[in-house]
């Protein structure tokens, strides 16, 4: 799931702040090899699991050392870019190349690193009704891709060289941008080396007393958001349709890292209009007239995990108006938000889903009173 696109990279790049002092910009490079398996999360992709995927990962990391407050509060994470090549070892899936923006979080005295990356992948052999109808995992050449990497790391063991090893998970899908979209998830073991370019001049980690986290708390504020995009039902050939989502919600920031939200979504999903009409004709036993309302209204609660001007958004909702029974009444939303102009304006890229089944990628803008 999750078609977050290259917008993730732009959001991450906007993190650095400005100061009167000169900020150093240490960099490290990484190269990995991985070997894994495609997980059978859906029986419809069983015929696509014929071998063990292999590939390599190249990464660029901007190291932080506490120059900015958010770096100190999150234990000096890295941000950067990743390029991953994966051979799926299946004639229908082919090879895939992905580009990501990522953040590395460190634990266990910086000996364990967790990387979260989001980006775009290119599939050289997507679904085609004539030449590749067996590939029911990828309906488009351009895919959303998510990378999760957990590694034990030792940096700068000798003259800037380091070593790391662990696991990597790579997800590919198009978030129902176009059918089919059964997606794949690769679980792999990886090992690699790193090199710190300026290891002789790497700055000391800055440790100082920041203000108490709760001093960043704010009063309840009201928000208006508009989201849009294009998606398609699971029925191949029905066509892509635009959708629109209008949202009103309140938020309460309780400290530096956490904001809670609650509100209402109104969904105008025109692909449902086409699906209702199709099923009323193709499956008369469903008892559909074809005139059922395709609109939905949901209420939700959520959380925003803030780091500087960027927030990771998670929401859980319930359709209170659900005239056509599509998927289920519970929905969720995950994504990234970037605040601008003293946190009054925001842009977001989110995935609207029903548990692990993505419905659409939403591109949104909003205003915070």
Q: Residue 210 has what pLDDT?
A: 77
Cβ atoms within 10 Å, residue 228? 14
199: left (phi over 0), alpha (psi -120 to 50) or beta: alpha
> For residues 347 and 19, which has the higher predicted lDDT (pLDDT)?
347
Q: How confident is the model at residue 2 (pLDDT cuts 50, 70, 90)?
A: very low
Q: Is the pLDDT of residue 6 over 50?
A: no
- Strand 184-196 to 221-231 pairing: unpaired
> Residue 101: its pLDDT value, please?
96
Residue 61, Cβ density class (10 Å: 0-12 exposed, 13-18 middle, ≥19 buried): buried
Which two three-digit tokens encode residue 182?
Answer: 């059964």
Taking the model in full, what pTM does it have? 0.88
**SS3 call for 248:** strand
**321 and 335 Cβ atoms separated by less than 8 Å:** no
Confidence band for 15, pLDDT divided at 50, 70 and 90:
very low
pLDDT at 356: 86
pLDDT at 19: 41
pLDDT of residue 65: 94
- pLDDT at 20 exceeding the cut of 70: no
Q: In this structure, what DSSP letter does residue 176 have?
A: T
**In Å, what is the CA distance from 86 to each residue of 46, 171, 193, 243?**
19, 11, 18, 33
Query: Which residue has tokens 């014929």?
Result: 50
* Averaged confidence pLDDT in the chain: 92
CA 329, CA 315: separation in Å to the nearest integer? 14
Q: What is the pLDDT of residue 214?
A: 80
| Chain centroid, CA 25 distance in Å | 26
The helix, strand and coil proportions of the chain, stated in percent and rounded to the nearest 5, come to 10, 55, 35
Q: 354: which 2 tokens?
A: 């029903």
What are the tokens at 117? 């990356």
Using alpha carbons, list the distances in angstroms from residue 124 to 113, 144, 248: 31, 14, 41
Is residue 137 within 8 A of residue 182, CB to CB? The reply is yes
Q: How buried is 95 (Cβ within 10 angstroms: 0-12 exposed, 13-18 middle, 19+ buried)?
A: middle
pLDDT tens by residue, 96-136: 999 999 999 999 999 999 999 999 999 999 999 999 999 99
Does the pLDDT of residue 244 top 80, yes or no? yes
- pLDDT score of 22: 86
Name all domains of the chain by residue range, CATH numbers in brackets. Answer: 7-201 (2.40.160.20), 213-368 (2.40.160)
- pLDDT at position 349: 96
- Residue 10 predicted with pLDDT over 90: no
Nearest-angstrom CA–CA distance, 324 and 276:
8
Query: Could you identify the residue written with the tokens 């292999």?
Result: 54
Secondary structure class of 270 (helix, strand, coil):
helix
Q: What is the tens place of the pLDDT at every residue in 25-66?
A: 999 999 999 999 999 999 999 999 999 999 999 999 999 999
pLDDT at 261 over 70: yes
pLDDT band at 280 (very low <50, low <70, confident <90, very high): very high
Cite the DSSP H helix spans in the chain. Answer: 7-13, 69-73, 270-282
Instruction: Give the rounded percent of residues in the chain with a pLDDT score beyond 90.
Output: 86
Q: What is the pLDDT of residue 11?
A: 47
Establish how many alpha carbons lie within 13 A of residue 296's alpha carbon, considering only the half-sphere containing its beta carbon.
24
């Amino acid at each position: 799931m999750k078609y977050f696109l290259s917008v993730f990279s732009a959001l991450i790049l906007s993190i650095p702040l400005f100061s009167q002092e000169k900020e150093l910009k240490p960099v490290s490079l990484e190269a990995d090899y991985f070997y894994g398996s495609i997980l059978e999360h859906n029986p419809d992709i069983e015929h696509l699991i014929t071998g063990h995927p292999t590939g390599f990962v190249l990464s660029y990391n901007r190291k932080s050392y506490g120059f900015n407050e958010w770096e100190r509060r999150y234990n000096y994470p890295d941000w950067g870019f990743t390029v991953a090549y994966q051979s799926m070892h299946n004639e229908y899936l082919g090879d895939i190349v992905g580009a990501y923006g990522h953040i590395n979080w460190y634990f266990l005295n910086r000996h364990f690193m967790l990387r979260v990356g989001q980006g775009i992948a290119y599939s050289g052999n997507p679904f085609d009704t004539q030449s590749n109808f067996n590939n029911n995992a990828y309906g488009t050449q351009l895919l959303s891709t998510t990378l999760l990497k957990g590694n034990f790391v030792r940096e700068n063991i000798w003259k800037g060289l380091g070593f790391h090893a662990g696991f990597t998970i790579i997800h590919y899908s198009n978030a129902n941008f176009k059918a089919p979209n059964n997606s794949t998830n690769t679980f792999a073991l990886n090992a690699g080396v790193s090199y710190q370019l300026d290891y002789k001049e790497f700055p000391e980690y800055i440790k100082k007393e920041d203000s108490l986290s709760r001093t960043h708390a704010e009063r309840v504020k009201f928000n208006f958001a508009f989201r849009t995009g294009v998606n398609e039902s699971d029925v191949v050939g029905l066509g892509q349709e635009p959708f629109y989502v209008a949202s009103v919600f309140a938020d309460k920031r309780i400290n530096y890292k956490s904001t809670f939200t609650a509100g209402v979504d109104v969904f105008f999903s025109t692909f449902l209009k086409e699906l209702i009409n199709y099923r009323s004709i193709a499956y008369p036993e469903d008892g559909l007239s074809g005139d059922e309302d395709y609109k939905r209204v949901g209420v939700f609660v959520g959380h925003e995990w803030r780091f500087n001007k960027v927030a990771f958004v998670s929401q859980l909702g319930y359709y209170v108006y659900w005239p056509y029974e599509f998927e289920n009444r519970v929905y969720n939303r995950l994504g990234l938000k970037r605040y601008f102009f003293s946190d009054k304006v925001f842009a977001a890229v989110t995935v609207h889903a029903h548990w692990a089944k993505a419905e659409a990628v939403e591109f949104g803008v909003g205003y915070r009173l």
